[in-house]
Amino acid sequence: MTVLTTMNASGTSKGKRSSFSATAEQVYTCCCGLHVKQGVQVIAAFFILCVILFPMQFFDSKLRHRLGFDPSIAAKFILDFGLLFSEAFCAALVFVAIRCEAKKLLLPFMYSQYFAMAFSLAMAVIFIFDVDAWLGEFRTQIDNYGYHKTRLFVCIGAAIGCLIHILIRFWIAGIVKKCYQYLADMEKASKVEKLPRF
């Protein structure tokens, strides 16, 4: 929080909160009244936790049995883990951005949300218009896959899931953008406070 130092009549200094900081506490909030600085850190911590937990599914006995030595599925796992790791790296930059008040370090995490939204939108289109393309190795796990109603139900459900994912990512991107604006306003306020008084 920005603190201005002013001189009183006796010549001693005393701390005084700037009007911007007092206003920002009310304006720059996200869900449940949480400040955007804390909000983005909670979200970033959640992303990092997901990356930590993701490799555990690889060691599941059923998954190992299903994977076998199929290089295509193993490559898919490596690709998924690589994408998650890169997103976790972007999430880790959030903590540095908040600590150093460097707004540009928030951009990788915000752009990763837009990339995820575009990817989910593309997947939703595939789910709707190409019934068989997306199932891949999961096709054998669906009972009565050959029935048209089953295939249609699964694809529509997957498309709805992608759209929900897009909404969640859009909400996260909005919080990150709001935090970026907060840090930008803090930077502007600090520059104004440093201007010489005549």
pLDDT tens-digit map of 142-163: 565 555 566 677 777 878 888 8
Q: Indicate the pTM of the whole model.
A: 0.70
In a domain, 149, yes or no: yes
Q: For residue range 15-43, list pLDDT tens digits in order.
A: 444 445 555 566 788 777 788 888 999 99
Q: Which of 185, 195, 169, 177 is nearest to 46 (CA)?
A: 169
Give the count of domains, the chain: 1
In a domain, 197, yes or no: no
Higher-pLDDT residue of 9, 107? 107
Mean pLDDT of 131-140: 54
In a domain, 98, yes or no: yes
Tokens of 56: 């555990």
Containing domain of residue 24, as a range? 20-181
What per-residue confidence (pLDDT) applies to 24?
Answer: 53
What per-residue confidence (pLDDT) applies to 16?
Answer: 40
Question: What is the identity of the amino acid at 66?
Answer: R
In a domain, 147, yes or no: yes
Higher-pLDDT residue of 197, 28? 28
In a domain, 2, yes or no: no
Contact 37, 182 (CB under 8 A): yes
